[in-house]
Structure 1
Amino acid sequence: MTRVNLITGFLGSGKTTTLRHLLANKPDGEKWAVLVNEFGEVGIDGALLAETGAVLKEIPGGCMCCVNGLPMQVGLNMLLKQSKPDRLLIEPTGLGHPKQILDMLSASVYEPWIDLRATLCLLDPRQLLDERVVDNENFRDQLAAADIIIANKQDRWDDASRQALLNFQQQSASGRTLVTTQHGEIDAALLDTPRRNLRELPHPAHHHHSTAPSRLSALKPDDNMPWRRALNEGQGYYACGWVFNGDTVFDTIGLLEWARLAPVSRVKGVMRIAEGMVSINRQGADFHIETRSTEPPDSRIELIDDARADWNILQTSLLKLRLHYQG
């Protein structure tokens, strides 16, 4: 039987960083798997988690949390039956509602297969000061569904965010475990906490997602097209992502400035530069870059915002930063 945890959290709360930390500290001899879903189409988290040694299954385009849940079911069944992991960590998109996933995991058909443990929700307390985030039903219900709330990015808090967290803890998190940390550094033993939060969540409003065919394989660059672009929208947010072939190398300083100054709230990518590979993670003004020892077969970057940006202008400036490429 596979132990299963749902790892939720709104955009930029630190879910992928937390997953990387947990996977780096998993018990020796255990086989872990990750089922990951992103709002956008190009699958950045898969590239970031590829070097962890876990069995990885990606679901593109924010469809894990949709009512029909078919991509989620297919991915879940494949991992359980083919890989038979000791533990499965499920990371839905930061814009996803947890109800359908928890209902599915709790269904009788999965009782012989999984042992559903605690749901963890990542929270950047600064989000509690942002009305656009607080008013989002998915943000509220992710927190409401959690057994354990991980107040992350402690190194970035100010007095206002500390007070907002204290108010939230007193008003909404009473009786539940709240852990404070930074860089997603939590004790893996938290994953074995039993699931006790069985509150009934409201049915989420139906949200539109792009209906265009969207599969990671279809976005693979080829000899005729050295890069591809994919769009998605839903729940009041818009995403645009690009995938470049492995021969494309970007100017380091120019790329980082492009990512830092892009007029969007969220930037995430794994890109090839002259010095090797760099991961880019920007949430608002928080900008984190990290060089990588392993090199994925391509480069990919995605932008998300609650307003539709001029993707063509951003694309033109990004393409000008290519130092050399083939195709």
Structure 2
Amino acid sequence: MIPPSRGIDFFILTGPLGSGKTTLLEQLLHQEESGSGTAVIVNEAGVVNIDGAVLVESANGLVIETLSNGCVCCSLGNDLVSTVQDLIETRARMDLSPFDRIILECSGLSMPGEVVRSLAGLAHLQMAVSIICTYDCTHPPLEATQLSAVAAQLSAAQTVVLTKIDGVDRKMLSDARSKVGHINPFATIVEELSQSVRSEKAFAAASQRPLDVTPPHRKLMLAAAHPRIHVYQARLSEPDPGDAIDWLENITGCLGERLLRCKALISAPERDLLMQTVGTAFSAPRLLRRQPEGNSVAIFITLDCDLDDLTQIPCAFSVSWLDEAR
């Protein structure tokens, strides 16, 4: 396969059932010019891909592919990789410029961490992967029965889009904004009444977004968002980078699905190391300019996890813990 000459912005569009994913994507397609460099992959858990059929009506000449009869984070992981490869190869055979972006609309039941893990088979494409989650302000998804999926989707997102805001009062909108911020202090929250502006901001190219190198502990909000969801902060005492990485891997192995997201900044003599996970799937480590304070810190967003579960995991350095919801 001939790789594209530059990286592709790959968007994972996730969110609970009925939270407005297809509407958000449909608005984007309405605004796209025919033949633009956007491709869309739609996944639904049922045999009939209804969302895919809806989007085809709005495609305006764009490429739409569907994955049906399974969840992309489970049985369809290999199908996703082959579909992306086929899209890129077909584009090259037609002597067209590479795609600027590929958007995967996931089933409302999908777990983002497993989707990110499946994309590891496309690492040679150097795609910039971003996760967008829709949040229905009229029916707060944290009250739903599928809490594990909702929590995983919200905590994994770089961008959370508040939807149906015209159907709520100021208090409900404020509550939605607050809960999202407490669960995912790393996310950019898009709150726009205009559907076109909302869509444009949600799908802003990753290359246009400033790199977030803010130490995690600067962005935390000290409040509880849900009794089963916790944000824990760990301050590490002068860890060796190798020991710190081993410790993070041990935590992901011990917590498993209870770990929703992790973000760690490990201080080193010349460069700091940024480590992140979506679920238990690690992103590639990033070297950053050393932060002035030189502190090593890790933030864990968890579901059904007590602080004792974390403190009992051995490590080669001292750690001081704080439960951000207390």
TM-score bracket for the superposition, by shorter chain length? 0.5 to 0.7
Question: What SS is found at the alignment partner of 2:42?
Answer: strand
Post-superposition offset of 1:8: 0.9
Match in the other structure for 1:192: 205
**CA drift at 1:126:** 3.3
Residue number in structure 1 paired with 2:100: 86
What SS does the corresponding residue of 1:119 show, helix, strand or coil? strand
Confirm or deny: 8 A CA contact 1:14 1:184 kept in the other structure.
Answer: no
Structure 2 CA distance for aligned equivalents of residues 161 and 33 of structure 1:
35
Decide whether the 8 Å contact of 1:13 with 1:122 is kept in 2.
yes
- Please state whether the residue corresponding to 1:10 is helix, strand or coil: coil
Matches within 5 A, 1:315-326: none
Using the alignment, how far apart are the partners of 1:151 and 1:93 within structure 2? 18
Q: CA deviation at 1:165?
A: 0.9
Alpha-carbon distance between aligned partners in 2 of 1:114 and 1:184, rounded to the nearest angstrom: 31
More displaced 10-residue stretch of structure 1: 111-120 or 38-47: 111-120
Q: Is the 8 A contact 1:4 1:114 kept in 2?
A: no
1:137 CA drift (Å): 0.8
The 3 A distance-change label for structure 1 pair 26 and 174 is same
Q: Give the distance between the partners of 1:202 and 1:112, measured in 2 at CA.
A: 22
Judging changes above 3 Å, is the alpha-carbon distance between structure 1 residues 166 and 50 closer, same or farther for their aligned structure 2 residues?
closer
Q: For 1:34 and 1:72, how far apart are their aligned partners in 2? A: 12
Query: Aligned ranges for residues 1-327 of structure 1 at < 5 Å?
Result: 1=4, 2-26=8-32, 30-51=36-57, 52=59, 53-66=61-74, 69-83=77-91, 84-105=98-119, 107=120, 109-128=121-140, 131-133=143-145, 136-158=147-169, 161-182=172-193, 184-185=195-196, 186-188=198-200, 190-193=203-206, 194=209, 199-202=276-279
Cα deviation for residue 184 of structure 1 reads: 4.6
User: Cα offset for 1:170?
Assistant: 4.2
Task: Quote the residue 1:214 is aligned against.
Answer: none
Superposed CA offset, 1:133-161 (max 9, x none): 4x521111111110011001111123553
Secondary structure, counterpart of 2:151 in structure 1 = helix
Distance 1:13 1:86, change over 3 A: same
Following the alignment from structure 1 to structure 2, what is the Cα–Cα distance between the partners of residues 96 and 120? 13
The residue type paired with residue 144 of structure 1 is S
Hey, what's the Cα distance between the residues in 2 that align with 1:20 and 1:68?
Answer: 23
> Residue 79 and residue 168 in structure 1: after superposition, are their counterparts in 2 closer, same or farther (change >3 A)?
same
- Note the alpha carbon deviations across 1:64-85, whole angstroms, 9 max, x for none: 1106712222222222222353
* CA distances 1:259-294 after superposition (whole Å, capped 9, x unpaired): xxxxxxxxxxxxxxxxxxxxxxxxxxxxxxxxxxxx
Q: Secondary structure at the match of 1:89?
A: strand
Percent identity for Structure 1 against Structure 2: 27
1:280 maps to what in 2?
none
Structure 2: segments with no counterpart, 5+ residues:
92-97, 213-262, 264-274, 282-326
CA distance, structure 2, for counterparts of residue 37 and residue 114 of structure 1: 23
Partners of 1:95 and 1:124 in 2: how far apart? 15
Distance (Å, rounded) in 2 between the aligned partners of 1:10 and 1:144: 13
Over residues 19-41 of structure 1, what are the superposed CA-to-partner deviations in whole Å (9 max), with x where a residue is unaligned? 11112223676321101101221
- Cα distance in 1 between the residues matched to 2:84 and 2:76: 14
Structure 1: which amino acid aligns with 2:133? C
Q: What secondary structure, in the 3-state scheme, does the structure 2 residue paired with 1:191 have?
A: coil
**Unaligned segments of structure 1, at least 5 residues:** 205-327
Question: What is the root-mean-square deviation in Å for CA atoms of aligned residues?
Answer: 2.8
Give the counterpart letter for 1:93 in structure 2: S
Number of residue-to-residue matches in the alignment: 201
Indicate if the aligned counterparts of 1:37 and 1:91 stay in contact, CA closer than 8 A: yes
SS in 1 for 2:139: helix
Alpha-carbon offset, residue 112 of structure 1? 3.5
The code of the aligned residue for 1:22 comes to L
Q: Secondary structure at the match of 1:161?
A: helix
Query: 1:171 is paired with a residue of what secondary structure?
Result: helix
